Amino acid sequence: MPFSLFLFTVFPALLCITSCKADNPRPELPQRIEILGIELRKVEPGTFSMGMSELDERVEPYEGVRSVEITKTYYLGMHEITQSIWEKVMGSNPSNFKGKELPVENVTWKESIAFCEALNKKIKSVKTLPEGMRFRLPSEAEWEFAARAGTKSVYFFGDNSTSIADYAWISDNSRDGTRPVKKKKPNPWGFFDIYGNVREWCLDGYDVRPRTKLIDPLLGWKNMDKVNRGGSWDSCEDCCKTGRRSNFGKDYKSNDVGFRVALGMELGEIHTPYED
């Protein structure tokens, strides 16, 4: 084929491909998603300082401040998974305090992972969810990034805990049990019950944090002890600080431990469902 004819034939095709891509950009992700009663809000990528300052030198490696970058958009549940949602997916209710709009509790980390896998199977035919995203527990970094909602203070409402009762069910006001979700004020990004009600499982294992900048971190995935965040109905104000972390074994369950889900791309070491 003459070179001039080759150019005449191929270049329009290339131009067409380029034009088609420009004319058909990826659709913008919705700000909110609701499915099976789970309300999720979009969280855009960003950077923040995770952890707490002025710690004892023995605690600093685990809870000290680290620079974190989140590079992928994800969604986080606006509320903790309720008992009604758990029943829709799992067909049972393990909770100690019964009530459809109460957060599910008395579930282990492994059972929370199993819920996410069952949820993904249940909604497999739904075509409206963002491509490539799956339900899972949030990483600890994703949880804290959304919890802080752009703030740098001890709590997302300031450094003083005086007004925490406006945002959380804790030991002072919970009447010794969980309370219905979304009854307190949300944080600035629209997430409810970040503090109190139930402690929330995260994907990460409890481990020392590297002192370098962390990008989309998922730490200690294979560790037996798993991170939980936010404090519970049985917690004091100090336990609810945004940067505070605690840990239990993957088979631990209690009437003050539950979770909220994330919808996002897979992270780090996660490629298959967790196994012992």
Taking residue 258's Cβ as centre, other Cβ atoms within 10 Å add up to 31
The tens digit of pLDDT for each residue in 241-267 reads 999 999 999 999 999 999 999 999 998
In a domain, 202, yes or no: yes
Give residue 127's pLDDT: 83
CATH code, domain carrying 157: 3.90.1580.10
In a domain, 20, yes or no: no
In a domain, 38, yes or no: yes
The Cα 67–Cα 185 span in angstroms is: 28
Give residue 13's pLDDT: 46
In a domain, 110, yes or no: yes
Instruction: State yes or no: pLDDT of 209 exceeds 80.
Output: yes
The tens digit of pLDDT for each residue in 1-37 reads 554 444 444 444 444 444 444 455 667 999 999 999 9
The tens digit of pLDDT for each residue in 124-133 reads 888 889 999 9
Mean of pLDDT over the chain: 90
What does pTM read for this prediction? Answer: 0.89
Which CA distances in Å does 181 have to 3, 108, 117, 134, 209?
69, 20, 23, 23, 32
In a domain, 276, yes or no: no
Q: Which domain holds residue 196?
A: 28-264
In a domain, 49, yes or no: yes
For the chain, what is the domain count?
1
In a domain, 21, yes or no: no
User: Which tops the pLDDT comparison, 210 or 9?
Assistant: 210
Give residue 1's pLDDT: 53
The tens digit of pLDDT for each residue in 148-182 reads 999 999 999 999 999 999 999 999 999 999 999 99
Give residue 125's pLDDT: 85
Q: What percent of the chain has pLDDT over 90?
A: 84
